Structure 1
Amino acid sequence: MLKYAIIFAIISLIAGALGFTGVAAGSAAIAKVLFVVFLVLAVLFVVLALLGIGAARKAIK
């Protein structure tokens, strides 16, 4: 997910430098959405990992 966000950000920068403002705006919007999705999933996985470790410790004791 983060890989695609970076790719779209690079496309946006190149398109903006070449004057393709519509393409630049579109790819920048896609990059923002993908980055937010990445952040949400990363936080979710960290929380689930922490809860999973806590649940495993409780089950062992």
Structure 2
Amino acid sequence: MLYYSIVFLLIALVAGLFGFVGIAGVATGIAKILFFVFLIAFVVSLVIGRRPRV
């Protein structure tokens, strides 16, 4: 998931460089959403992994 976030960020940078502002905005939004979903999943996996097994 982090891979897709980085890919969309690169797409946004290239689109912004060439002047495609609409595409750059959408790709940036998708990259932000995917990054935060990855971050939440990472934190949840850390919390679940630290619980002792009963």
The TM-score, its normalising length taken from structure 1, stands at 0.86
- Once the two structures are superposed, residues 15-42 of structure 1 have per-residue CA deviations (whole angstroms, 9 ceiling, x without a partner) of 0000000000000000000000000000
Residues 1:37 and 2:33 are matched in the alignment: no
Structure with bigger helix share is 1
Supply the distance in 2 between the matched residues of 1:24 and 1:39 (Cα, whole angstroms).
Answer: 22
| Alpha-carbon distance in structure 2 between the residues aligned to 1:44 and 1:20 | 36
Structure 2 letter corresponding to 1:41: A
Q: Count residues with an aligned counterpart.
A: 54
Larger radius of gyration: 1
Quote how far apart the aligned CAs of 1:48 are.
Answer: 0.4
- Distance in 1, Cα, partners of 2:21 & 2:3: 23
* Structure 2: stretches of 5+ with no match in the other structure: none
